[in-house]
């Protein structure tokens, strides 16, 4: 069981940290909450104690015999501060140690993730920006705030990302750091990820679709952003909160998916096609709902083939040196193994990398785990054992980075 410290600072978004905490405890983590005094103005100590099952303190003078100002940080496997105010970022950047949370940050040697939330002016202020840059330079993972409704009637950048995404990003960092240090090794690169499945409408209410959940694409986008990339996520019919710092473009049909991916790819260093476009669409779409016939006969559906987006991207490369990654969900057949089919598809699609999933028996779709083989056009083969979709995402980005 990993030991997580959840630092909470004094912003209105502190109430959302209750949901982050619940997600950690439900996923089997041992959580110590360290609120600042200002955080307790928003959400009281009994809430944190009840949700974490542990007493909480804000200062270094409680339970002194246990030396909490050193012990909590030393014993942590991960420190997450959510929300992190401008004040906390400043104190952490400058190594102040005037309460239990800042002492914990100084003694922790584990990965540290911060999810800032504040008004846009405070976020954009050069002082805050240079504090963030300094913290990142030292290896702290500072998530980008979301754009949206702020405390008052105003909107802008500075909103706390959704708790589910903060939790997912923090768990990714915790897992990844067991394998490799979490670095901003994709900084300065623009990557495009597609996720979800195309919906091909027959009429205003009916569509042909597929079972793609978008979870692998979300993991790819989230991990790339944590590693410093500028990320465009083209999402076809996925109902998940935006990953922190990721520009999400929502689309419906496969044709829209292709248009959005090609537009984003013009400035991209890598494109990862993890979406499941629909191979076919109804030849005609009825403007009104198709009615049942009186005589009980069923309509015949004529289909047209959709363009292959991935093959188009590799054929008309937007930029030299762009790394293009495809996915293949294969079941194998009597004559061909999953890998045989993967190699043939890699050659046919003309991409640099192909992530091959064995989906016999309906595996992978909608599951949180994945297992795959990453084939390279240079003949390379990387086996990724069963693990989280984030773990696979990291391996894919490692392969992409190595090709750059």
- Choose, by CB under 6 A, the member of 14, 146, 309, 356 that binds ligand CTP: 309
Calpha distance 403→31 (Å, rounded): 39
Active site residue 131: no
Span near ligand CTP by CB under 6 A; candidates 32-40, 44-52, 304-312, 392-400: 304-312
Nearest distance from residue 281's CB to ligand CTP, in Å? 10
Distance CA 24, CA 39 (A): 19
From candidates 33, 310, 356, 392, binder to ligand CTP by CB under 6 A: 310
Task: Identify the residue among 308, 364, 393, 395 touching ligand CTP (CB under 6 A).
Answer: 308
Residues 6+ apart with CB under 8 A from 337: none
Q: Is 220 left (phi over 0), alpha (psi -120 to 50) or beta?
A: alpha
Which region, judged by CB under 6 A, interacts with ligand CTP, from 7-15, 233-241, 243-251, 321-329?
A: 321-329
Residues between 326 and 365 that touch ligand CTP (CB under 6 A): 326-329
Give the tokens for residue 365: 């779709």
**Phi, psi angle pair for 232, to nearest 5°:** -110, 125
Report whether 211 contacts 380 (CB < 8 A).
no
Site size toward ligand CTP (CB under 6 A) is: 13
Q: How far is the CB of 309 from ligand CTP (least distance, A)?
A: 3
Window 268-297: contact mask with ligand CTP (x via CB under 6 A):
-----x-x-x-x------------------
Main-chain phi, psi angles of 384, to 5 degrees = -115, 110
- Confirm or reject binding of residue 200 to ligand CTP (CB under 6 A): no
Angle formed at CA 286 by CA 252 and CA 284, multiple of 5 degrees: 75
Of 383, 391, 401, nearest in space to 171 by CA: 391
Query: Based on CB atoms, which residue is closest to ligand CTP, 57 or 275?
Result: 275
Residues 98/66, Cβ–Cβ less than 8 Å:
no
Name the residues that contact ligand CTP, by CB under 6 A. Answer: 254, 273, 275, 277, 279, 306, 308-310, 326-329
Which residues are catalytically annotated?
A: 210
């Amino acid at each position: 069981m990993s030991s997580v410290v959840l630092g909470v600072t004094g912003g209105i978004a502190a109430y959302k940290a209750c949901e982050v905490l619940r997600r950690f405890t439900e996923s089997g983590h041992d959580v110590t909450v360290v609120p600042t005094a200002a955080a307790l103005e928003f959400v009281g100590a009994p809430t944190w104690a009840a949700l974490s099952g542990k007493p909480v303190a804000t200062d270094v003078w409680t339970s002194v015999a246990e030396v909490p100002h050193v012990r909590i940080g030393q014993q942590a496997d991960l420190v997450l501060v959510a929300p992190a105010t401008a004040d906390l970022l400043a104190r952490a950047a400058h190594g102040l140690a005037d309460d239990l949370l800042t002492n914990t940050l100084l003694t922790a040697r584990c990965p540290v993730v911060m999810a800032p939330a504040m008004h846009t002016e405070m976020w954009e202020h050069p002082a805050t920006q240079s504090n963030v840059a300094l913290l990142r330079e030292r290896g702290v993972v500072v998530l980008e705030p979301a754009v949206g409704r702020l405390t008052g009637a105003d909107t802008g950048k500075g909103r706390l990302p959704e708790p589910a995404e903060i939790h997912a990003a923090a768990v990714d960092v915790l897992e990844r750091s067991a394998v490799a240090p979490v670095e901003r090794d994709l900084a300065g690169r623009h990557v495009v990820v597609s996720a979800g499945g195309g919906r091909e409408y027959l009429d205003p209410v009916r569509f042909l679709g597929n079972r793609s959940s978008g979870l692998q694409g979300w993991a790819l986008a989230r991990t790339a952003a944590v590693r410093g990339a500028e990320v465009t996520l083209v999402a076809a019919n996925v109902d998940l909160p935006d990953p922190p710092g990721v520009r999400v473009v929502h689309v419906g049909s496969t044709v829209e998916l292709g248009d959005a991916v090609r537009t984003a790819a013009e400035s991209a260093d890598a494109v990862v096609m993890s979406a499941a476009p629909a191979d076919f669409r109804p030849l005609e779409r009825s403007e009104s709902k198709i009615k049942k016939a009186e005589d009980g006969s069923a309509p015949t559906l004529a289909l047209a083939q959709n363009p292959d987006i991935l093959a188009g991207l590799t054929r008309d490369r937007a930029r030299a040196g762009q790394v293009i990654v495809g996915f293949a969900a294969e079941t194998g057949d009597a004559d061909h193994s999953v890998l045989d089919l993967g190699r043939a598809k890699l050659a046919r699609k003309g991409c640099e990398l192909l992530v091959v999933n064995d989906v016999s028996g309906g595996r992978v779709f909608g599951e949180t785990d994945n297992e795959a083989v990453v084939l390279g056009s240079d003949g390379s083969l990387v086996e990724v054992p069963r693990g989280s979709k984030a773990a696979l995402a990291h391996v894919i980005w490692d392969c992409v980075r190595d090709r750059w």
